[in-house]
């Protein structure tokens, strides 16, 4: 069974640009979550999608947005990039409504903003 796939794995942008990251969940998983990992801050929740609808949202500014498609694939977008947006962006998929809510993570997209 293929795991969670994230593209691109690495990218470099400059301040003010925008970026789109893509995530393909495990087959059969309809819930996709996004997390930002920065040194010293752990994993911070961005948002979660299920059935093309945002179900939960973390405390990030409106520059961070996402969407989910009918095949459960998801994208997140960051507009007007700032230096502080440099981070590892992790996507995770899961079965909606499980008791433990175990998440299956991709390898992440490492964004560097110069």
Residues that bind other proteins (CB under 8 A): 4, 33, 35, 40-45, 48, 50, 55-56, 58, 90, 92, 96-97, 99-108
The answer to whether 30 and 108 have CB atoms below 8 angstroms apart is: no
Cis peptide leading into residue 111 (ω within 30°): no
Least separation in angstroms between CB 15 and other proteins:
26
The answer to whether 84 and 63 have CB atoms below 8 angstroms apart is: no
* CA nearest neighbour of 50 among 110, 101, 108, 111: 101
Least separation in angstroms between CB 6 and other proteins:
8
Q: In what order do the strands lie in the sheet with 5-7?
A: 5-7, 19-24, 74-78, 64-68
3-state secondary structure (DSSP) of residue 83:
helix
Q: Compare residues 38 and 71 and give the one whose CB is closer to other proteins.
A: 38
Q: Compare residues 78 and 103 and give the one whose CB is closer to other proteins.
A: 103
Least separation in angstroms between CB 47 and other proteins:
9
Q: Compare residues 53 and 70 and give the one whose CB is closer to other proteins.
A: 53
Q: Compare residues 70 and 102 and give the one whose CB is closer to other proteins.
A: 102
């Amino acid at each position: 069974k293929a795991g969670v796939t994230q593209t691109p794995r690495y990218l470099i942008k400059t301040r003010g640009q925008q970026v789109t990251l893509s995530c393909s969940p495990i087959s059969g998983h309809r819930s996709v979550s996004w997390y930002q990992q920065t040194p010293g801050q752990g994993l911070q929740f961005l948002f979660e999608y299920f059935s093309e609808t945002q179900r939960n949202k973390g405390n990030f500014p409106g520059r961070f947005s996402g969407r989910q498609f009918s095949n459960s694939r998801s994208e997140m977008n960051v507009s007007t990039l700032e230096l502080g947006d440099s981070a590892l962006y992790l996507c995770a998929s899961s079965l909606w409504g499980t008791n433990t809510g175990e998440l299956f993570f991709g390898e992440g997209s490492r964004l560097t903003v110069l």
